[in-house]
Amino acid sequence: MLECNVQSCTKPRKGFSRYCSNHHKTKARHGHPLQKPVTAQELKPYIKAVVLWFEERARGDTEDLLRRTWIGLVHEAERYRRLANKGQPFFKNLLEAYDIILSANQSKDFKAISNTMLAMGYLYEANPKRFADETAFGFQCARRLRALSDCSFGSRWDHQSGKVAKVYRDVSPKTLRALWKLILDTKFPVYGIKLAKEDLKERSHWVANEQIITQALMGEAA
């Protein structure tokens, strides 16, 4: 019996997959069999760094540009949903990705969405080893945006408690890839990477090298 393709894992492969059941599931969810999920708690200091950068260093038109880009994506999603509702042919995974965009737009304000995507870029620049590869980074960006929507959870009737229970709803890898493509088209994570480069470079002029990222993420001013 063939073993999992992940080094040091001796579990048998799942069906025709190159990985065992656990690593196969991780790859489907996170883009790589060894990728660990980026949590909201982990991202908080990077969001704080982004907010401080906008307050202290950003040009006045930067936020307007980002907002227009997001509004354009929302309008694109609304149009695709309307056409699908009218019976026009559509791609299931792309429609699901657009629905996540629409749900996030309804659930959160623009700054919460843009700061999250920019923070993902900041994290990538500050700690690139956090991501197994670029696909894993894309999946994490998509999952963090989905977490801002109402698509992550559904409900079911719990017969034991006699109440409606909240349940997590997973998403297909194809939908995550489609969502990542839409996110990448906005260039939000790319802007986050550029923002981090500038921010960390400026801070390197006044703080010791090993303290740069820590100081930036703690929000200490120059």
Q: Of the candidates 102, 141, 118, which has an alpha carbon nearest to the alpha carbon of residue 197?
A: 118
At residue 58, the pLDDT reads 72
Distance CA 123, CA 129 (A): 10
Burial 29-40 (b: 16+ CB within 10 A, else e): bbbbbebeebee
Structure-block tokens of residue 57: 């260093």
Q: pLDDT per residue over 99-153, tens digit each?
A: 999 999 999 999 999 999 999 999 999 999 999 999 999 999 999 999 999 877 6
The pLDDT, as a whole number, for residue 220 is 52
Alpha helices in 57-172, H assignment, sequence order:
62-85, 92-107, 110-126, 134-147
pLDDT at 104: 97
Give the pLDDT score at 151.
79
- Please choose, from the candidates 66, 5, 6, 42, the residue with its C-alpha nearest in 3D space to the C-alpha of residue 143: 42
What contacts 78, CB < 8 A, 6 or more positions away? 102
Q: Where are the domains of the chain?
A: 1-34, 36-218
| Close Cβ partners of 164 (under 8 Å, ≥ 6 residues apart) | 155, 156, 157, 158
Provide the token pair at 37.
């999920």
Pick out the chain residues at pLDDT < 70. Answer: 153-168, 204-222
Secondary-structure percent of the chain, ordered helix, strand, coil, rounded to 5: 65, 5, 30
Amino acid at 77: A
- pTM of the model as a whole: 0.85
